[in-house]
Chains A and B, each alone.
Chain A
Amino acid sequence: MDYPLQLTVNGIPVKRIVEPQVRLLDFLREDLGLTGAKEGCGTGDCGACTVLIDGDPHHSCLTLAVEAEGAAVTTVEGLVSDDRLNEVQSAFVSAGATQCGICTPGFVVMATAYLRDNPNPTDDELRMGIAGNLCRCTGYETIVTALHSVIDGKVERIEVAPEPLELVPEPEGE
């Protein structure tokens, strides 16, 4: 059975026909080519597939695409604005909070929403808040450090385009 689906993804209206068993995760990755959300488990245990639905973090692996009818979905690809990373993304880069990087999209989406809703958590609250996202590489410390720097308002948003190289001038008369 095909089902008409309308929603917005990263601010862009999308209209597609989907089968109801298609998960939002598959829809984003396979139909729209937005592979930022990852599948670490498919059962709600790792958080790698986290996306925002109407602003709130959800597991796209446990959400049928048809259940997002009419919703505004934001993926990690939608967090960059004005050619700059958002604060959480910037803090992750600066603090070295990404090792293999597979958990990173889910973490930055989750943390972006969490810190918006809880701008001043204690360290313990913060750790409980992100406990639905697993990371095997970092031991979480650099991630938590990155998020504290956001909380402390110490983050400058990083520009995504690389700076042009400053070339050595050619010698006079060449």
Chain B
Amino acid sequence: MAKVVERPQEKTALRVASKPVSRLDGIENVTGATKFGADFSLPGMLWGAILRSPYAHARIRSIDYAKALEAPGVVTVATAADFDDDVVEPTSRPHNVFAGETALYLGEAVAAVAAVTMEDAEAALELIEVDYEPLPHVLDPLRAMEPDSPVIRHGDGGEVDRTEMSFHSSVASSAEDLEESGNVSSQVQFGRGDIEEGFAEADVIREGRFTAAMVHQTYLEPHAALADYSPSGDLKMWVTSQGQFYVRDTVARLLKLPAHKVIVQGTAIGGGFGGKMTLLAPIPAILSKKARKPVKVVWSRSEELVAANPAPASVIDVKIGAKRDGTITALQGRVVMDTGAYPGSPMSTATMLLGSCYVFPNMELEGFEVLTNKVSVGAYRAPGAPNSAHAVENVMNWVAQDIGMDPLDFRLKNAISEGERWPNGQPLPDVGAVEVLEAMKDHPVWGTPLVQGSNGKPRGRGAAIGCWSGGAGGSAATIKLEADGSFSVLVGTINLTGNTTSIAQVAAEELRVPLEYVSVHLGDTNEAPFGPVAGGSQVTYTMSLSAAAAAQDVLRQMKSVAAQRLGADPDDIEFDEGKMWAESDPDRYVTYRRISDEAVGSANGPIIGTGHGKPERGNPGFAGTIADVEVDTETGLVTILNLVGVQDAGFAINPLSVKGQIQGGTIQGVGYALLEEIVYDEDGRVRNPGLLDYRLPTAADVPDVDAVIVEKHNPYGWKGTRIVGEPSIVPPGAAITSAISDALSIPLHNMPLTPERIVMALRDAKANGRSNGRSNGRPS
């Protein structure tokens, strides 16, 4: 099996951390007891429905909703006019709840109705009269960059809002935004060395233009939010979102309410993956404020696919040069990212990540974020990174093939390590690129040569790696010692991926009690200490630090109570399994329960510990995928035979949960590689707004993922923890497309590689006289 870098002595000393613990909320999930966004209702509640622009680009001359207001059951209607000008940021999607003067994409919200029943609300939408003046629109980002393209304008300029992207990545892109023109809303450049010289030194140069489609995060739970505006001016909300404080701040600002008057309770969340932030919450909020009644809005799946914030399509050019001995000499790359109708795409990250896995002595990278009349994009698990990896890693495999080197050896020779610099100049801490590559090399799948089947369907193998910088936000937690000696932890970050379990494990570990002694509760924004947005894989990374700090605070207070009772010095107090004693007299002890009793009656009062945490810095996580595929060349259907996902988790607090993350991320990568794509027609309408034609992989379409955890200690995380959630989605698209390319012996440039794309690429290759017989690029 793969080599795992561990510290065994340290692990055996741990009681719950590092153990595969099943989710604490497991029983609630399997009995239907867990309450998600749409599961909350209130007496007298109204239902909201949203009217959307039927045009990809249109001036809104007027909106007349008088008739809708008279319709049965209708209580109120909201439009852009309900928000003051000074709270609307022209270029920020979250602050443009409704289209103002112009609708910028088909499906943009124009108005919303609150009515007694959903049927009434939907019926009333048709009674709203909107006078649109259609404007010319542009959908293709390359076309949008041309000087004569229709131009997308957001009123009079304004700062570009990149808040959501910053949740995911702690890496600043050093290059300032260069001159912005037309629909190019942002531009970056990174350079190093002399690019021409670099290519001149190379023996082999390969290049290609790669496209990746717009894909949707497709959390299975659509957006939902319930708002209840009380007569006293409190706005209480139940929202499914990755960041309840972010929702609170956005709503407070838009409605001009004091932050403490907007009380947001994050609900259980049915998946987010970066895409569930604050798109919906302001709508029920404004409707409830106007109606003075609770209002619930739940998006349909088609609203999700048409009007949420999917991951961007991109066109990426990559050119890599290397010497015969495998030394890379140069990298040139250009990213064009389609951001849709609002800026805020992960373009600069994607551009930088082109040069983030290997040492490139000479490099020239540029990136363009381009506006089009499509829904604006958002974050999706390692935003932009799968697009970059798809381009770079395919070219890496071609170069390895041309110089006759094993693709993993080629990568190992050039892999980035501590002290090397990313394109933005930031020196790297000790990353696990080499360890991940070595674990891939050691894996039995890689060690076994691929055997061609007897059914005439060619097989191929692909390998790829990728990385993600990850967030490193600040967080806090409080822990209370309860009357019976158990503990309750209060946090403000929602339970996205089982992190509640990890937080409980950390607290139990620090407090030296069994896991059953600890419960974790998500408080609303007024109860709970601040917790960061659950994005950028940062929850466990940062919350483990604050939970550990809070536990230490609790222990300090407990020790002082125990010391007093035992007549000892607090510094001499030892503790374990629910009791404390003085080092000098181990036979006399006080129980945690007694300490609680005592504290409640004392002048210091009950024991509540607070902890803050912010990792000193982000530390990128690396992941690798090996894929074996078989291709039916007549139909283009691909079968994945083997799928190996390797990831450096630093220190796996809960290996079960880490493996689950690797498996889930890898299978999402299968969607990127083979199936998923939001398709637009010429008018800017999504042609596949449902889950029958927007195809997620089903259980029948995917193999098991052999998930391998590598542990390379991260000095900035609790016991060496690293970000976990995101890296696993980065390399699979590249590995699988590369495996298909290997099977067919033709270069392939698109994601997803649908059966049709594969058949057409084969036909074109045949027409151009390229063989489609098999030639394996790897020396065997």
Contact = CB atoms under 8 A, between A and B. Distances in A.
A77 B32 CA distance: 6
Given A103-B220, A134-B696, A165-B517, A41 B690 contact: yes
B485 A141 contact: no
Contacts of B696: 134, 136
Contacts of A126: 699
A29 B32 CA distance: 11
A101 B41 contact: no
B271 A102 contact: yes
Contacts of B485: 165, 167-168
Of residues A38, A101, A171, which shows the largest number of chain B Cβ atoms within 10 Å of its Cβ? A101
B516 A40 contact: no
Interface string A145-174: 000000000000010101101011111001
B6 to A, nearest CB: 21
Contacts of B273: 136
A21 to B, nearest CB: 7
A80 B699 contact: no
A42 B700 contact: no
Nearest to A147: B699
B37 to A, nearest CB: 9
Given A100-B221, A168-B591, A134 B32 contact: no
A5 B696 CA distance: 37
A105 to B, nearest CB: 5
A63 interface: no
A159 to B, nearest CB: 9
Contacts of B701: 131
A127 B700 contact: yes
Contacts of B178: none
Interface string B1-41: 00000000000000000001011011111111111101101
A168 B592 contact: yes
Of residues A93, A127, A140, A170, which shows the largest number of chain B Cβ atoms within 10 Å of its Cβ? A140
A104 B221 contact: no
A130 interface: yes
A36 B31 contact: yes
Interface stretch (A43-51, A52-60, A65-73): A43-51
Contacts of A158: 27
A8 B709 CA distance: 48
B497 interface: yes
Contact of A92 (B26, B301, B497, B517): B26
Contacts of B253: none
B218 interface: yes
A6 interface: no
Contacts of A38: 36, 38, 220-221, 270
A141 B663 contact: yes
Interface stretch (B154-162, B438-446, B664-672, B745-753): B664-672
Contacts of A100: 219-221, 268-271, 496-497
Contacts, number: 206
A79 B668 contact: no
A93 B27 contact: yes
Contacts of B657: 96
A85 interface: yes
B715 interface: no
A139 B699 CA distance: 8
Nearest to A132: B698
B283 interface: no
Nearest to A95: B22
A113 interface: no
A63 to B, nearest CB: 17
B766 interface: no
A43 B691 contact: yes
Nearest to B272: A100
B660 A76 contact: no
Interface string A89-124: 110111110111111110010000000000000001
A96 B660 contact: yes
B79 to A, nearest CB: 26
B636 interface: no
Nearest to B517: A165
12 contacts: A43-B690, A93-B26, A96-B23, A96-B26, A101-B34, A102-B36, A104-B30, A124-B700, A134-B220, A139-B668, A141-B704, A171-B590
Given A85-B30, A96-B20, 12 more contacts: A38-B38, A96-B22, A96-B23, A96-B26, A98-B23, A101-B268, A138-B663, A139-B665, A142-B663, A165-B484, A167-B484, A168-B578
Interface of A: 21, 29-30, 34-46, 48, 75-77, 79-80, 85, 89-90, 92-96, 98-105, 108, 124, 126-128, 130-144, 158, 160, 162-163, 165, 167-171, 174
